Structure 1
Amino acid sequence: MTVQDIRAFNRFYTNVIGALDYSRHLYAPFTLTESRVLYELAHSPHTDAADLRAELSLDAGYLSRILNRFEQDGLIERAPSRRDPRRRQITLTARGRETAGLLAERADESVGALLATVPAADRPRLSEALHTVRTVLSQDTDGHRPRSEDVVLREPGPGDLGWIVQRNAALYAAEYDFNADYEGLVARIVADFAEDHDPHLERVWIAELDGRPVGCVMCVRDDAPGAARLRLLLVEPAARGLRIGDQLVSAVVEFARGVGYRDLVLWTNDILGAARRIYQRHGFVLVAEKPHRSFGQDLVGQDWRLDLHGSGE
């Protein structure tokens, strides 16, 4: 491997992305850096300027100018941080979320167009090659460290619904000693979705890292009028600490709000402390709890609710 090898690859790939019209279409009317800031805000609902500077390695003055422009254009709002009153929390407005969604849609379409030119038999080899490049060039003394920006949220592909059942059963058995009753419950939930769901009102997200699924969540219609239900939030142990749970819950909240649901509800158990903290960060409120015996364990079930029109999330 020589310097010329890498430069030759850079020229090749620059031509590839140029053919997709990235510079004139994909990010317009924003620069690449501005689009990257919008992406980070869309996937990190509780962040501030210091977080952004650290995550993106941006000059403080440059980032300040970007945020001032976003605020003037009605894309963001700033308020005192809940974690540190000396800091200003930055959140996307409804217009900001719409803009970030449009940019993400363009990116998906462009990369999808590129991937469509690759024969299906070659795609695993391409995925592995991309993973190798990213891993090798990201190594430091501790090896490759995945970042939250490496995580991709996508729709389920063939086999992914089965993966949801398998991983839920395996993880809850390992971490909470749940028996096969839980696997049966998850299998029924997933089967109901697969057999009969409205794609305009219900959706599943798979979190992918390095070409492998590492998390999931579902949004389905609830029995209560105007309400959606969040179900089966899961993050693989090896991928925890990358805000994947926050990204998945954010996706559900934005989707549910965007299609017109009034409330978002969920049921969980009090032993799932990490998940509860995620729900609380996103504005969910505990409305009821009740002891029960399920999955071979004595548990306390909890009902949580988020008012999608009253929440500033």
Structure 2
Amino acid sequence: MAMTVQDIRSFSRFYTNVIGALDYGRHLYVPYTLTESRVLYELAHAPRTDAADLRAQLHLDAGYLSRILNRFEEDGLVERGPSETDPRRRSVTLTGRGREAAALLDERARETVGAMLATVPAEDRPRLAEAMRTVREILGGGRAPRPEDVVLRDPVPGDLGWIVQRNAALYAAEYGWNADYEGLVARIVADYGEDHDPRLERTWIAELDGRPVGCVMCVRDDAPGAARLRLLLVEPDARGLGIGDRLVGAVVGFAREAGYREVVLWTNDVLAAARRVYQRHGFVLVAEKPHRSFGRDLVGQDWRLDLLATPE
């Protein structure tokens, strides 16, 4: 035990120095402190959160967090209002400006860590990542994943390809769809990757323990004033954590803030779990039609959410 304690303390000092070296001369968090950056990060990875939950997640003093949120509100980074689930609580949501600030900090962090990893031989990088996962698993008590362990983030290089690959593999395994569906997904993703307006279109990746476990897209529809929800997916081993709800909620919140009047989507009747998520968020079935696609006889469905008629 004594040697283990000493090893952990030694590692802690070493890793603290590594983190300090990452930021040395780089001004990684400017104009925010490290704690303020952590708050922005948590808010960026949850469409809506309560101040009380945020305080518990980050182990912050209530007064300290309140001062941070006051500053963010003055700078136009966050909006606060009554919680949707508990009127005694206050919800905190990033504004468009807040998401831009969080994205800048995230980009700086990725570039800095990438520069550090560039000094590590390629053959040692998987071993390094596995060692870090081992530390998290052991010190985490081997517990099952919790909803709060999942973060929603913007895609990084490789994620768009993952969306195509996992959609094709999962729908083939679960519904017997053929390569026609993979082709459809590939075209949707390619169009987004080559030309999208970040003010009006966005993709989210759900991440758990460092790996992607879900995704969704919000893109402009051909109909004026309409956003289209596309390619909602949650990995089988990550279901039951509310990821689908969070992804759809992220699309709805983004579409509302971007000024869309409605969100539309097309799905098929066999996707029962996804339909229940859409219904919980207020989507209404407006049309359905039998069709032969992806090697199967299906019933296609059009769903619509009127953002002007539904409360925020």
TM-score under structure 1 length normalisation: 0.76
Q: Mapping of 1:4-83 within 5 angstroms? A: 4-21=6-23, 25-83=27-85
Q: For 1:301, give the aligned amino acid.
A: Q
CA RMSD of aligned residues (A): 3.8
* C-alpha spacing 1:290/1:135, structure 2 compared with 1 (3 Å): same
Helix, strand or coil for the counterpart of 1:36? Answer: helix
The corresponding residue for 2:97 is 95
On the 8 A contact 2:285/2:304 being kept in 1, the answer is yes
Offset, 1:206: 4.4
Q: Which moved more, 1:264-273 or 1:40-49?
A: 264-273
- 2:250 corresponds to 1:236: no
TM-score under structure 2 length normalisation: 0.76
Helix, strand or coil for the counterpart of 1:45? Answer: coil
Q: Which moved more, 1:13-22 or 1:69-78?
A: 13-22
Helix, strand or coil for the counterpart of 1:2? Answer: helix
The corresponding residue for 2:130 is 128
The corresponding residue for 2:187 is 192
On the 8 A contact 2:150/2:206 being kept in 1, the answer is no
Helix, strand or coil for the counterpart of 2:27? Answer: helix
Q: For 1:157, give the aligned amino acid.
A: G
Offset, 1:41: 1.6
On the 8 A contact 1:80/1:86 being kept in 2, the answer is yes
* C-alpha spacing 1:93/1:108, structure 2 compared with 1 (3 Å): same
Looking at structure 1, the residues matched to 97 and 126 of structure 2 have their Cα atoms a distance apart, in angstroms, of 37
Q: For 2:158, give the aligned amino acid.
A: G
1:245-283 Cα distance to aligned partner (Å, 9 max, x none): 45645776788899998875422346756645665787x
Helix, strand or coil for the counterpart of 2:32? Answer: coil
Helix, strand or coil for the counterpart of 1:26? Answer: coil
The corresponding residue for 2:166 is 163
Structure 1 segments unaligned to the other structure (5+ residues): none
Looking at structure 1, the residues matched to 55 and 280 of structure 2 have their Cα atoms a distance apart, in angstroms, of 22
On the 8 A contact 1:78/1:91 being kept in 2, the answer is yes
* C-alpha spacing 1:55/1:281, structure 2 compared with 1 (3 Å): farther
Q: For 1:187, give the aligned amino acid.
A: E
Q: For 2:186, give the aligned amino acid.
A: A
Q: Mapping of 1:141-152 within 5 angstroms? A: 143=143, 145-146=145-146, 148-149=148-149, 151=151
On the 8 A contact 1:81/1:87 being kept in 2, the answer is yes
Structure 2 segments unaligned to the other structure (5+ residues): none
The corresponding residue for 2:286 is 288
On the 8 A contact 2:268/2:298 being kept in 1, the answer is no
Helix, strand or coil for the counterpart of 1:139? Answer: coil
Helix, strand or coil for the counterpart of 1:44? Answer: coil
Q: For 2:93, give the aligned amino acid.
A: T
Looking at structure 2, the residues matched to 122 and 33 of structure 1 have their Cα atoms a distance apart, in angstroms, of 31
Q: For 1:107, give the aligned amino acid.
A: A
Looking at structure 2, the residues matched to 102 and 306 of structure 1 have their Cα atoms a distance apart, in angstroms, of 32
On the 8 A contact 1:148/1:243 being kept in 2, the answer is no
Q: For 2:267, give the aligned amino acid.
A: T
Offset, 1:228: 5.4
Q: Which moved more, 1:156-165 or 1:242-251?
A: 242-251
* C-alpha spacing 1:169/1:5, structure 2 compared with 1 (3 Å): same
* C-alpha spacing 1:103/1:274, structure 2 compared with 1 (3 Å): farther
Q: Which moved more, 1:204-213 or 1:255-264?
A: 255-264
Offset, 1:200: 4.1
Q: For 1:167, give the aligned amino acid.
A: L
Looking at structure 1, the residues matched to 243 and 94 of structure 2 have their Cα atoms a distance apart, in angstroms, of 19
Looking at structure 2, the residues matched to 279 and 102 of structure 1 have their Cα atoms a distance apart, in angstroms, of 31
On the 8 A contact 1:148/1:244 being kept in 2, the answer is no
The corresponding residue for 1:303 is 303
On the 8 A contact 1:287/1:305 being kept in 2, the answer is no
1:155-180 Cα distance to aligned partner (Å, 9 max, x none): 3529623233102332xx2xxxx342
Looking at structure 2, the residues matched to 113 and 254 of structure 1 have their Cα atoms a distance apart, in angstroms, of 34
Offset, 1:109: 1.4
Offset, 1:47: 1.6
Q: Which moved more, 1:194-203 or 1:205-214?
A: 194-203
1:116-147 Cα distance to aligned partner (Å, 9 max, x none): 2223222221111110011111116xx35456
Looking at structure 2, the residues matched to 246 and 138 of structure 1 have their Cα atoms a distance apart, in angstroms, of 25
Q: For 1:64, give the aligned amino acid.
A: S
Looking at structure 2, the residues matched to 65 and 281 of structure 1 have their Cα atoms a distance apart, in angstroms, of 35
Identity %: 62
